[in-house]
Amino acid sequence: MDFLLLGPLELRRRGATIDLGRGKRRALLVALLLRRNEVVPTGLLVEALWGDEPPTAAHASLLNHVSRLRGELGERTIDTRPPGYLIRTDPESVDADRFERLLGEAHGLRGAKRAARLRSALALWRGEALADVTLHGELAGEIEALEERRLHAVEQLFEQELELGRHAEVAAELENAVARYPLRERFLEQLMIALYASGRQTEALAAFDVARRRMRKDLGLDPGERLKRLQRAILVHEAPMSKRARQDVPLTVLQRVIEHAPGSYAERADFAYRLGIAFRSLGEVEYAREALLEARDIAVRADAVRVELRVELALATQDHSDGAVTPQEYRAWLEPAVAEFRKLGDEQGLALALLALGSVRCAQGEVAVGLELFHEAAEHALQAVGTSWPTGLILAAEGGTLHFGPTPVGIAIARCNEILETIPWGAPGPIGVYSSLGVLHAMAGDAGVGRQFAARAVAACEEYGMQTLLARTIGPWAAAVEELAGDLDAAKTILSRIYEAASATGNPTSLAFTAPSLARVAAALGRADDALAILDAARDRLPNPNPDEGAWALAQGSALLQRGDAEEALSFAKRAVELAEHTDWLPERAATLELLGEVLLAAGRSHDAASAAAEALKLHERKENIIGGTRARALLERVSAARPHASTPKSSGV
């Protein structure tokens, strides 16, 4: 049986369409298919079918719909699995799974082959995803996410076509896309490039003006800074395009620098590659991409395979950083890339690929695995280049993970100090290591030393213009030092400054990391309404998927608890625990358990609260987090006071 979700819902058995009518059974089937091969809780299904106010007989009606659906699909298709139901499907029987498979294959290809595979994936779509089915609540958002995946694939296809120089061919398609999605800035940017490269400069500028008027009317906002820069570049004939379309267009300053760099083509490709890496480290994403694309063009001309693969690694890393590819897609690309670098015998490229893979594994909650990859990366880097770049980059990445991973505080501090002494660090220094030492010393109760290291990291970011790094990690870690030191006002000041900058630039990834930290601190200061307002304001601007979903659940639960909504806070606390429990991010896991304990205590469930608090204390002790341990013990004491005749779970102590 085939399940078609990429358009109106269709079921086909041996080519014949199965008619389910227009009622709740169609909605139920979609709800199960959106979480195919997973147990969908009964409560979530009731919410999806009837919304926030289901009828009294909703559960009985759900049972009836499940029974009738089994009759249509076959008894073995839907299983009853507490606390809900599971529909079993084969990957090739669901068009959405085939779509994702083709996208994954396209990610590993280049040029015309990549464009062809993307078109094959998009050909599976028959219209707007499930436009004939209405769901409510959480699962409704998954339909929207499916549609967003299609639009992102369309953007990727247009980008690839532009890189192939097919500007005139895709201009009409882009005009249709902009007309249908007038507020989607990426389509407008691609249309402007396609028109300009086709010799239609006036039309490119007119498209921008039309969009600007529409945005002002509908949103009260101007187009983003990136589009404004593109408009200015078109005005002076310096718009970035693929190499094939530049023959009659003056080169940009950056391109002229690369063209006039001394050395062979291979050496010039390596120069452009290193220039792109330098731009990326400064947060100059557009310049970085332009330099890297130039490096790739020159490397292909020079048959410099190693440089070409390093450039592909840098571009893939940038796409991941921008949210253009998911962590899963990035990891799927990296693993064969590591094997390819090994095959080429490229020690430096292998070191960089292992660094990237280690970073992804850490971000996915596998810090111990990530550290092993960092160690291997450092060995290859030392073999290739000694203590120069990228050895320092790798060691800095290792040190920057030690505060949130499973390494005990004492060992982590010693390792960070060893890293600082390993190589002669030039400016701006190992910023991540400074931040790690800041948090680690604060965990150990030495707030003064912790603040010194945190301030050093923040100052380095500000001095060298690393605003993205400051927003995503260094700033929140500096605020974490203040939290551990007990100065919530200072933490809020740091986070507010970063949040305002991220809001002004509209950087969705920076907002994803900053907003929950600021909201949680605001809640801790007793400003629950402010915390919820921060989360609401940032939510619509998040990247998809949200790279820090656990932190958002923790912040939402903290704010709701502070406002007195213990029952609603409980679902967020449980979600935060669920997201963290399979990771080795010990401090975050402990924080989620502390929140759960606080919520359970507020709900009068003191026994469960004691268990959560005791588990949090074990994690703090394992990490040697003295401040966290003190906080967890205080929670246990409050739980014990709430149940004076009951025993409290014990901990071994630090």
In a shared domain, residues 35 and 11:
yes
Q: Which of 102, 123, 151 is the last residue of a domain?
A: 151
Report pLDDT for 239. 67
Report residue 151 as tokens. 């639009």
In a shared domain, residues 123 and 32:
yes
The DSSP bridge partners found for residue 13 are 16
Residue with the two structure tokens 């960089």: 352
Q: Which of 98, 125, 151 is the last residue of a domain?
A: 151
Determine whether 427 is exposed, middle or buried from the number of CB atoms within 10 Å of its CB (0-12, 13-18, 19+): exposed
**Pick from 424, 453, 431: nearest CA to 441:** 453
Distance CA 205, CA 192 (A): 7
Cis amide prior to 83 (ω within 30 degrees): yes
CATH classification at residue 110: 1.10.10.10
Q: Measured on CA atoms in the order 266, 269, 271, 274, is the torsion positive or negative? A: negative
Report pLDDT for 393. 93
Distance CA 102, CA 121 (A): 5
pTM equals: 0.63
In a shared domain, residues 19 and 136:
yes
Q: What are the tens digits of pLDDT across the range 268-309?
A: 999 999 999 998 887 777 788 888 988 988 888 788 999 999
In a shared domain, residues 10 and 127:
yes
Tell me which H or E stretch contains 17.
Answer: strand 16-17
**Pick from 579, 498, 506: nearest CA to 540:** 506
Distance CA 557, CA 593 (A): 12
Report pLDDT for 248. 41
Q: Is residue 653 part of a domain?
A: no
Q: Is residue 220 part of a domain?
A: yes
In a shared domain, residues 56 and 172:
no
**Pick from 52, 226, 12: nearest CA to 135:** 52
Q: Is residue 196 part of a domain?
A: yes
Report residue 456 as tokens. 């050093």
Cα angle 534-574-361, degrees, rounded to a multiple of 5: 80
Distance CA 327, CA 313 (A): 14
CATH classification at residue 207: 1.25.40.10
Q: Note whether 547 and 323 are within 8 A (CB).
A: yes
On the CB side of 246, CA atoms within 13 Å amount to 15
In a shared domain, residues 143 and 213:
no
**In Å, how far are 210, 630, 639, 649 from 642, measured between CA atoms?**
64, 19, 5, 14
Helical spans, DSSP H, in 486-527: 488-505, 508-524
In a shared domain, residues 135 and 237:
no
Q: Is residue 46 part of a domain?
A: yes
Q: Note whether 419 and 430 are within 8 A (CB).
A: yes
Tell me the mean pLDDT per 10 residues along the chain, length 654.
Answer: 92 83 86 94 94 90 91 85 92 91 87 93 94 90 90 92 89 93 90 90 87 82 77 71 44 76 91 92 80 86 91 90 81 95 96 97 96 97 93 95 97 97 90 97 97 96 86 92 97 93 74 90 96 90 76 96 94 96 96 97 94 97 98 96 61 40
Report pLDDT for 654. 32
Length of the chain as a residue count: 654
Domain extent at residue 71: 2-151
Tell me which H or E stretch contains 333.
Answer: helix 327-344
| CB contact set of 507 (below 8 Å; sequence gap of 6+) | 468, 471
Q: What are phi and psi of 516, to 5 degrees?
A: -65, -35
The DSSP bridge partners found for residue 84 are 41, 81
On the CB side of 108, CA atoms within 13 Å amount to 13
Tell me 181's DSSP state: S
In a shared domain, residues 77 and 210:
no
Q: What are the tens digits of pLDDT across the range 376-390?
A: 999 999 999 999 899
**Pick from 585, 223, 541: nearest CA to 369:** 585
Distance CA 154, CA 152 (A): 5
Q: Note whether 337 and 312 are within 8 A (CB).
A: yes
Q: Note whether 319 and 325 are within 8 A (CB).
A: yes
Residue with the two structure tokens 């409980």: 570
Distance CA 435, CA 484 (A): 14
Which amino acid is it at 43?
G
In a shared domain, residues 25 and 52:
yes
In a shared domain, residues 17 and 144:
yes
In a shared domain, residues 185 and 119:
no
Complete edge-to-edge strand list for the sheet that includes strand 40-41: 40-41, 84-87, 78-81
On the CB side of 346, CA atoms within 13 Å amount to 20
In a shared domain, residues 84 and 47:
yes
CB atoms within 10 A of CB 38: 11
Q: Note whether 542 and 508 are within 8 A (CB).
A: yes
Q: Is residue 226 part of a domain?
A: yes
The DSSP bridge partners found for residue 11 are 3
Q: Is residue 452 part of a domain?
A: no
Cα 276 from chain centre: 22
Count of domains in the chain?
2
**In Å, how far are 577, 587, 598 from 362, measured between CA atoms?**
18, 14, 28
Q: Is residue 61 part of a domain?
A: yes
Report pLDDT for 163. 86
